[in-house]
Chain A
Amino acid sequence: MLIRMRNSSDISPSEITPQSIYLDRRRFLAAGALGALGLAVGPGRTRAADAPAASPPAAAGTPPKLAPIARSPLSTDDPQTPFEAVTRYNNFYEFGTDKEDPVRNASKMHARPWRVTIGGLCAKPGAYDVDDLIRANRLEERIYRLRCVEAWSMVIPWVGIPMADVIRKAEPLGSAKFVAMRTLLDPQQMPGQRRGILEWPYVEGLRLDEATHPLTILAVGLYGEVLPNQSGAPIRLIVPWKYGFKSIKSIVALEFVEEMPPTSWNRQAPNEYGFYANVNPAVDHPRWSQARERRIGEFFRRETLPFNGYGEQVASLYAGMDLAKWY
């Protein structure tokens, strides 16, 4: 019979982290990080809950009683679109072309662990775990208007990291003029990719000065919670003055390039979707007017604003450009 002598340095079974938690540690950490952030965005959430048609976010806890933490001056005061609408009505063709396909099918995707490579014309390329990338940068709440090219719009409290910070750390070379971005390519996880509706993977790009603009963020959450899969988890672009399709989701690669990179919708229909895709009520989509939009939750259409209302901040980026030509 074997008699085990317990050594004081032995680990008692109760101290061992259950395997499930160990395996899920990244999600655990991310949830912790965003949980703390949830306190910061508490007031935003309360406001949404007070809005007439709002339903509280799925995992809403008791609204924190802490003093409100300063919101980003770049956030809008517009009433926020309810969490339910934001996460149940969107385009993400990787999961199907119906507006409600993403929420139905996106659970097949594993948003963690997730690697993002940063490369191309830069001094410090690298491959990062998305949570390391998040931790290495400051998270901010940005309440932005989102204008879809299909003439509907929302107001969404994103949580993200300024893209300029990520870019600065990679030290792009002088020859880098654009940032090209790419979504995950995996038809197993993204069933929509089994059909050639678009050329997969989805690709997008920004001019370097657009990508480093203070408004541009890499979003990793919304309504204070980790980004739901259907909204582009774990990390996606947000450029609020451009049509929604520019804001590429579930990013796996950023690359600094010299030439204007190809972009998915432009490849699909070049006469309908330009590289710039700045919100512009004066330049119609060939098939529908861009003069007005329907804010989700509102009955009447409202006038669309140039650059989605961000003209003061971004119009100078396009000084001297014919925006009817560079649509």
Chain B
Amino acid sequence: MAAAPAPARKRRRVDDRFVRFVAKPLVFALCLMPLAWIAWQALAVPGGLGANPIDTVNRFLGDWALRFLLISLAVSPVKEIAGLAVVMRFRRMLGLFAFFYVVLHLSSWIGLDQFFAWRHIWADIVKRPYITVGMLAFTLLVPLAVTSTSGMIKRLGARAWKRLHMLVYPAAMLACFHFLMLVKADVREPLVYAALLAVLLGWRAVTRWLPRPARPAEAAKPAPLRTP
């Protein structure tokens, strides 16, 4: 996570301003679209949430939490495969949006579905394996959100920070499992998510364990982008 090197400075600065002032706000707004959509359905469309609105909202938020987890896990593979280094600039935002939707999903369960019936909530967390697994996934994501600031990265050091953030892998696996476990019979949808996750994690395993002799210079190459 070193600072940008001097060469090609002029061109880079244009890119940087584009990313900062155009692309990032745009992606940020896009990431808010699911929330805006469900809010629109709730407030402006009569019956827009169907007969069981609380269930609709909770499932919708859970779906998007899982989707954003997968999207943020797709950033590194896209960077490597497509050679698009710039996508790394969006990884933190996407990861935090994943956490944002996880928090909303959990909040809608506690506040809407259970209406703060703590006794029942606790009983569910302890007794219902799919809820236990979901809570565990959430718990693993908390330190990642907390340490997402640049200051935290510095304080932890890049190595420790990277190692800590590998917790996103088990968290995503648990999230897929959480979905799979709650389905009654039709497991197609959770299996699609699980398959996508398997591809994303499998790609990491393959690239890590299979040495790529064709690119010996990679280690010496300076980090192409600074973390903003």
Known contacts A289-B120, A289-B123, A292-B120; A197 and B185 CB within 8 A of each other: yes
Q: Which of B14-22, B28-36, B125-133, B155-163 contacts A (4 or more CB under 8 A)?
A: B125-133
Q: Could you tell me if A291 and B120 are in contact, using CB atoms closer than 8 angstroms? A: yes
Residue B51 CB within 8 A of the other chain:
yes
Q: Could you tell me if A97 and B186 are in contact, using CB atoms closer than 8 angstroms? A: yes
Contacts of A198 in B (CB 8 A): 185
Q: Could you tell me if A287 and B117 are in contact, using CB atoms closer than 8 angstroms? A: no
Known contacts A287-B129, A291-B120; A296 and B51 CB within 8 A of each other: yes
Residue A89 CB within 8 A of the other chain:
yes
0/1 interface trace, chain A 15-57, chain B, CB 8 Å (1 if under): 0000000000000000000000000000000000000000000
Give the shortest distance, in Å, between B83 (CB) and chain A (any CB): 40
Known contacts A289-B120, A292-B120, A299-B115; A93 and B181 CB within 8 A of each other: no
Q: Which residue of A lies closest to B47 (CB)?
A: A84
Q: Could you tell me if B54 and A287 are in contact, using CB atoms closer than 8 angstroms? A: no
Residue A99 CB within 8 A of the other chain:
yes
Q: Could you tell me if B115 and A301 are in contact, using CB atoms closer than 8 angstroms? A: yes
> What's the interface size class on A, roughly?
20 to 34
Of the residues B50, B123, B184, contact of A88 by C-beta under 8 Å: B50
Q: Could you tell me if A296 and B52 are in contact, using CB atoms closer than 8 angstroms? A: yes
0/1 interface trace, chain B 49-90, chain A, CB 8 Å (1 if under): 011101100000000000000000000000000000000000
Contacts of A299 in B (CB 8 A): 54, 115
Q: Could you tell me if B54 and A294 are in contact, using CB atoms closer than 8 angstroms? A: yes
Q: Please report the C-alpha to C-alpha distance between residue A100 and residue B182 in the assembled complex, in whole angstroms.
A: 19
Q: Which residue of B lies closest to A88 (CB)?
A: B51
Q: Could you tell me if B51 and A284 are in contact, using CB atoms closer than 8 angstroms? A: no
Residue A114 CB within 8 A of the other chain:
no
Interface core residue of B51, B124, B186 (most chain A CB under 10 Å): B51
Known contacts A268-B185, A300-B115; A294 and B50 CB within 8 A of each other: no
Contacts of B186 in A (CB 8 A): 93, 97, 197
Q: Which residue of B lies closest to A97 (CB)?
A: B186
Q: List 28 A-B contacts (CB under 8 A).
A: A84-B47, A84-B51, A85-B51, A88-B50, A88-B51, A93-B186, A97-B184, A97-B185, A97-B186, A99-B50, A99-B51, A99-B52, A100-B50, A150-B184, A152-B52, A197-B186, A269-B185, A287-B130, A287-B181, A288-B124, A288-B128, A289-B124, A292-B120, A294-B54, A296-B52, A297-B51, A300-B115, A301-B117
Interface residues of A (CB under 8 A from B): 84-85, 88-89, 93, 97, 99-100, 150, 152, 197-198, 268-269, 284, 287-289, 291-292, 294, 296-297, 299-301
Please list the 5 inter-chain residue pairs (A to B) with the smallest Cβ-Cβ separation, ordered nearest first.
A89-B51, A85-B51, A97-B186, A197-B185, A197-B186
